[in-house]
């Protein structure tokens, strides 16, 4: 049993990662591929970048393909899962990573800014999880990993919509974990802190300095830091973990 606990081999497993054309999603796709998983690289608009990730997977000896997924359109979710099952013949790992931000103070926030973020970040994860649960239940094995955020735990000014969506993901994680545990399906969440991506590069330097001062480890994280935790949660090494929220934030939230 000890060998099985520490095993991180995903050969023969199929993983679907949404929002995988760049940033954290890209790093997750590559990390799962490195363990032998066949990876479906989900994207919504930038097919070229998604195909670049597929090329990277193949260059590293892994298998993968790109699939357009508009997570905001929840009616598409069953068709997405059907596509994966038809082509890959199975689905073992679902990583709900796709997300957007439409920051604004609450009193200025437009209804569409609220709904766009909630529908993409939270409702999209609900729809894909619901559709993926049936084949996982039938196989009596599955890993569902939701990418939340530390702001879903502590809140943040000007992000009521984003915070609500990420806090909702944590609640969704815990509820579904209890529902699916008897079928050997684990459901966990990862809450990244300040991770260096294209989105964060655009922030003012003075704000970055302020943020870094709040991090005990004194530096920002990389997408690969988040991917390493996701890779662990997808493996047999995390077989006895479910309903958990793992912070990847350099100690920012304790």
Which residues are identified as catalytic?
162
Is 20 labeled as ligand-binding? Answer: yes
What are 187's strand-pairing partners?
Answer: 144
Neighbours of 131 (CB within 10 A): 21
Q: Which residue has the tokens 């969506």?
A: 165
Is 195 labeled as ligand-binding? Answer: yes
Q: Which of 122, 82, 100, 129 is nearest to 22 (CA)?
A: 100
Is 22 labeled as ligand-binding? Answer: yes
Dig out the tokens for 132 from the structure: 């993926």
User: SS3 helix, strand, coil % of the chain, rounded to 5?
Assistant: 50, 15, 30
Q: Do the beta carbons of residue 227 and residue 17 sit within 8 Å?
A: no
Is 168 labeled as ligand-binding? Answer: no
Is 100 labeled as ligand-binding? Answer: no
240 by DSSP, 3-state: which? coil
Residue numbers belonging to the annotated binding site? 19-22, 97, 162-166, 195
Residue numbers belonging to the annotated binding site for NADP(+)? 19-22, 97, 162-166, 195
């Amino acid at each position: 049993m000890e060998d099985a606990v520490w095993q991180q081999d995903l050969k023969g497993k199929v993983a679907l990662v949404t929002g995988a054309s760049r940033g954290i999603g890209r790093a997750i796709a590559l990390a799962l591929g490195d363990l032998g998983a066949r990876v479906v690289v989900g994207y919504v608009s930038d097919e070229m970048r998604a195909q670049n990730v597929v090329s990277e997977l193949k260059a590293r000896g892994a298998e993968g393909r790109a699939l357009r997924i508009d997570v905001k359109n929840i009616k598409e979710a069953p068709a997405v899962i059907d596509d994966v099952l038809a082509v890959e013949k199975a689905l073992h790992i679902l990583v709900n990573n796709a997300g957007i931000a439409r920051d604004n103070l609450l009193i200025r926030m437009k209804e569409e800014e609220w709904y766009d973020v909630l529908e993409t970040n939270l409702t999209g994860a609900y729809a894909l999880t619901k559709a993926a649960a049936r084949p996982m239940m039938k196989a009596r094995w599955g890993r569902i990993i939701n990418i939340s955020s530390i702001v879903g735990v502590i809140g943040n000014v000007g992000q009521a919509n984003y915070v609500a969506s990420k806090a909702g993901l944590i609640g969704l994680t815990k509820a579904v974990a209890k529902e699916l545990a008897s079928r050997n399906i684990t459901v966990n969440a990862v809450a990244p802190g300040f991770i260096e991506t294209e989105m964060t590069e655009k922030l003012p330097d003075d704000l970055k300095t302020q943020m870094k001062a709040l991090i005990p480890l004194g530096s920002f994280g990389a997408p690969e830091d988040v991917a390493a935790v996701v890779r662990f949660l997808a493996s047999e090494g995390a077989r006895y973990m479910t309903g958990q929220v793992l912070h990847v934030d350099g100690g920012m939230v304790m």
